[in-house]
């Protein structure tokens, strides 16, 4: 009886999706206005009610924060102060997620199964606690120490994710939600870039990409949406589904181009290449060769179309490609080299424990001046510098364990649609793994909760495959 009462009808879901679409549009158009904070507060009230009704909305809230609200504003928008610390919107999503699952967990509906991914998560959390102690002992500001800890503490989102997404229907709903809002985000940002935003870069940088106006904390949304839509396009069985994915693929690719983010370009190219390799060497290719050929022709068609309308001139693509080689080191690349050298030198001073959480990367960036930031443009160097060998080893093994199930998923006896969605989520994690070679998306407060969700999905399918075998 209770389950029937709290079950949300399709009509309500459609109305809710319409509300989120309108709200997201307003957030994009009104960013920087006083109304921006009022809209966030309104979302908090509505989501508090929805999460009580259905725990899946707690993960949807995490996804919206990570994907669709510019991280710059989430990070500066403080809900309240408690015990001298700032509490952010992501903290609310994190707490509500655990509240949402507590009742069902206590009632015995869910059980957490331990596997290698969970083990490495535990080891990494222990390393984080050691890094916290070492950071405080090293004299780093307490606020900075716990800010760093919070970035990885959000990985605990894997726990509610396991409980909520173990039901494939919930996993599918979350995936479709990501695709829909990813399409909206990419479409709005594309038109904003072409018709509304001012020129972002100086003339020297501008020569590489004349339309590039998009920049921000969450530009990684573009390659994530592109990879998810391409993967689902490949596994989809119906023509209608593939036609619905065409706008998503088109606008996510266009937004990726307009973003002028070389790390995201690199992540998309490498992920597509690895994905194709896995498909070629999986038994799925024997029955999906036509889909693979169709996908390749579709991508080539988009590139040809954009080139024909002069949105992607060949000379700019060549200039863009050479800007990331050692033949020409621009100011941005040179700044990264100095930043990386600073972090690595700090690691060499204390290779076992690192500099401790709360350490700030202080260096002189050519063309910008002296920088002192708690983040680093490389998540792996960030962990290595702040937590040393005891941090980087479980961190790398955690990522490897979460990704290595991919071939087994492709070759499993799961349903075709479930394989496609699981494969898409794992490839999204791979995008973040590659992207974080040049940025911080594996350790930023605005995105690490979603990384925890992806870990949870990998844990789910590792357990499912073990049960099947």
Please report whether residue 91 resides in a domain: no
Mean pLDDT, residues 249-272: 84
Please report whether residue 200 resides in a domain: yes
Please report whether residue 368 resides in a domain: no
Range of the domain at 234: 114-326+375-468
**Where would I find the H helices in 196-238?**
203-206, 221-235
Longest dimension (CA), the chain: 68
Q: Based on the structure, what is the number of domains in the chain?
A: 1
pLDDT at 270: 92
For residue 219, what is the DSSP state? T
> Per-residue pLDDT tens for 456-468?
999 999 998 888 7
Cβ atoms within 10 Å, residue 365: 16
> Per-residue pLDDT tens for 28-65?
444 434 445 556 666 666 666 777 778 888 888 888 87
Please report whether residue 77 resides in a domain: no
Please report whether residue 11 resides in a domain: no
Given a cut of 50, whether residue 294 has pLDDT beyond it is yes
Higher-confidence position of 314 and 361: 361
Rounded CA-CA distance 288/274 in Å is 17
> Per-residue pLDDT tens for 426-439?
999 999 999 999 88
Mean pLDDT, residues 145-149: 86
Residue that is written with structure tokens 């173990």 in the block: 166
Given a contact cutoff of 8 angstroms between Cβ atoms, the answer to whether 214 and 255 are in contact is yes
> Global pTM?
0.82
């Amino acid at each position: 009886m209770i389950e029937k009462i709290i079950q949300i009808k399709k009509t309500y879901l459609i109305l809710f999706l319409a509300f989120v679409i309108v709200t997201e549009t307003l957030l994009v158009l009104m960013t920087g206005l006083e109304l921006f904070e009022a809209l966030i507060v309104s979302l908090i009230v509505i989501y508090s009610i929805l999460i009580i009704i259905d725990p899946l909305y707690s993960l949807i809230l995490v996804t919206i924060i990570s994907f669709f609200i510019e991280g710059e504003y989430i990070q500066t928008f403080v809900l309240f102060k408690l015990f001298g610390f700032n509490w952010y919107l992501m903290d609310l999503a994190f707490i509500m997620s655990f509240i949402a699952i507590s009742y069902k967990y206590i009632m015995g509906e869910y059980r957490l199964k331990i596997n290698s991914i969970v083990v490495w998560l535990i080891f990494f959390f222990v390393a984080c606690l050691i890094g916290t102690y070492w950071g405080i002992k090293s004299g780093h500001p307490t606020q900075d120490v716990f800010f760093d800890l919070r970035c990885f503490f959000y990985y605990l989102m894997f726990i509610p994710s396991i409980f909520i997404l173990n039901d494939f229907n919930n996993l599918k709903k979350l995936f479709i939600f990501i695709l829909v809002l990813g399409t909206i985000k990419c479409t709005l940002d594309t038109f904003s870039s072409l018709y509304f935003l001012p020129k972002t870069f100086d003339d020297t940088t501008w020569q590489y990409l004349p339309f590039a106006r998009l920049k921000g904390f969450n530009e990684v949304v573009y390659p994530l949406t592109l990879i998810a839509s391409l993967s689902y396009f490949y596994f989809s069985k119906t023509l209608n589904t593939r036609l619905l994915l065409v706008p998503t693929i088109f606008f996510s690719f266009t937004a990726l181009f307009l973003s002028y983010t070389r790390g995201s370009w690199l992540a998309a190219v490498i992920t597509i290449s690895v994905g194709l390799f896995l498909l070629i060497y999986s038994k799925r290719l024997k029955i999906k060769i036509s889909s693979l050929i169709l996908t390749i022709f579709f991508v080539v068609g988009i590139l040809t179309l954009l080139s024909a309308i002069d949105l992607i001139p060949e000379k700019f693509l060549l200039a863009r490609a050479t800007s990331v080689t050692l033949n020409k080191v621009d100011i941005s690349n040179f700044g990264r080299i100095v930043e990386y050298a600073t972090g690595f030198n700090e690691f060499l001073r204390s290779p076992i424990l690192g500099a401790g959480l709360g350490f700030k990367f202080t260096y002189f960036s050519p063309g910008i001046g002296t920088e002192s930031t708690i983040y680093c443009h490389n998540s792996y160097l960030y962990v290595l510098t702040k937590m040393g060998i005891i941090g980087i080893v479980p961190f790398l093994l955690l990522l490897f364990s979460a990704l290595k199930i991919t071939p087994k998923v492709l070759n499993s006896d799961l349903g075709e649609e479930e394989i496609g969605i699981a494969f898409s989520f794992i490839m999204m994690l791979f995008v973040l793994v590659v992207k974080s070679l040049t940025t911080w998306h594996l350790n930023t407060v605005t995105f690490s909760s979603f990384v925890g969700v992806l870990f949870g999905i990998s844990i789910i399918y590792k357990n499912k495959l073990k049960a099947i075998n």
